[in-house]
Amino acid sequence: MALANNGNIYVPYEKRSGSESVVYFTRNLSSEGLRKIYARVCQDLTGKVAIKLHTGEPHGPNIIPRPWVKDLITDCLPEAHIVETNAYYEGDRYTTPQHRETLKINGWNFAPVDIMDEHGTAMLPVKGGHYFTEISMGKGLLDYDSLLVLTHFKGHVQGGFGGSNKNIGIGCADGRIGKAMIHTTPGQPDQWDIDGEEFMERISESAKATVDHFGKHIAFINVMRNMSVSCDCEGVAAEPVVTPNVGILASLDIAAIDWASVDLVYAMPENYNHALVERMESRHGLRQLTYMTELGMGNCRYNLIDIDNGDAKISLKNAVKHVKPFEG
């Protein structure tokens, strides 16, 4: 069946069709768990490797723990660089000097951090897009042979949720040109005037440019921990976390990993998932998923592989069977 193009409508797994990708899953929310699941998707991360993650606003409480990332780099990727771009909004990551000070405050000092738009921008082609034929990225992205997209999965004030798609769709676009292409209709006074389905589609087209650029040399990890309905760009102002922690997912398919992450949220009891579901549906954020599938970025179906239990295939229901109320 054709997937719904309304971003407030969730399409359950059993109503989807097509090929299946592999998505790995662990409940082990720790440095060890991150390293183990990384090992399942790292085979084609060769040459000079970039790690794209959201390093957060000052003192952001929910970002991926720095010790986890430090251990991953030390043990598995000793030559890798963390990569980011400057923010579109004025604040503590708006300029490169401000951004570097925020990196220092948040403890991202154990590996080189490349602010990719520090020395300019580059246009990457968007194949098959409706809004873009090309998108402006931080020029530093072109310095790398491979990309690990290491994402803190959570809500988002305008996108509904932030998964791998949002991490690179907005996060690789440079802070002045690329992010404006996604967020703002030219000539409008409101820099955030694009929302709803169009916003999700623009994010996805931008992400597709990065996915296509790296080809097989890209992998995706989603950390489902401290999932506030707020993005990490809200820092200490983020809404309190009420959604239970789930685990870590990894895949070579960007669409499949974000579908799986959203599916795991919907598989929880309603009293656990209501806040995050409301955020995704009210912002029409589910359009990110269906549009990625339409763009040919990956599959909406997958086999969820439990690496904690002999690589057995696990159902969504069983994957969240033992989640507990969130404790900060």
Lowest mean pLDDT among 122-126, 225-229, 234-238: 234-238
pLDDT at 1 exceeding the cut of 50: no
CA distance 211 to 200: 16
CA distance 130 to 186: 17
3 state SS of 248? strand
Mean pLDDT of 93-121: 97
CA distance 257 to 251: 6
Classify strands 301-306 and 312-313 as parallel, antiparallel or unpaired: antiparallel
Backbone angles phi, psi at 138, to 5 degrees: -60, 130
pLDDT tens digit string along 300-319? 999 999 999 999 999 999 99
CA distance 58 to 63: 11
Mean pLDDT of 48-55: 97
pLDDT at 108 exceeding the cut of 60: yes
pLDDT band of residue 2 (cuts 50, 70, 90) is: low
pLDDT tens digit string along 59-81? 999 999 999 999 999 999 999 99
Mean pLDDT of 179-188: 96
Tokens of 6: 């309304």
Q: What is the pTM of this model?
A: 0.97
**Which are the contacts of 240, defined by CB distance < 8 A and separation ≥ 6?**
228, 328
Lowest mean pLDDT among 120-124, 165-169, 228-232: 228-232
pLDDT at 185 exceeding the cut of 50: yes
Mean pLDDT of 2-23: 92
Mean pLDDT of 274-287: 98
pLDDT at 327: 82
CA distance 65 to 186: 38
β strands within the chain, DSSP E? 20-26, 49-52, 81-84, 113-115, 121-125, 134-138, 146-152, 154-156, 160-162, 218-224, 247-251, 301-306, 312-313
pLDDT at 4: 74
The per-residue DSSP string of 155-210 comes to EETTTEEESHHHHHHTTSB-TTTHHHHHH--TT-S-TT---HHHHHHHHHHHHHHH
Percent of the chain with pLDDT over 90: 96
CA distance 295 to 287: 12
CA distance 279 to 275: 6
**Higher pLDDT residue, 328 or 138?**
138
CB 212 within 8 A of CB 292: no
**Which are the contacts of 68, defined by CB distance < 8 A and separation ≥ 6?**
30, 31, 34
Tokens of 98: 């401000």
CATH 3.60.21 fits 13-319, yes or no: no
CA distance 282 to 155: 11
pLDDT band of residue 262 (cuts 50, 70, 90) is: very high
pLDDT tens digit string along 213-224? 999 999 999 999
Amino acid of residue 281: E
- Structural domain boundaries in the chain: 13-319
Tokens of 208: 């597709």
| Mean pLDDT for all residues in the chain | 96
pLDDT at 102 exceeding the cut of 80: yes
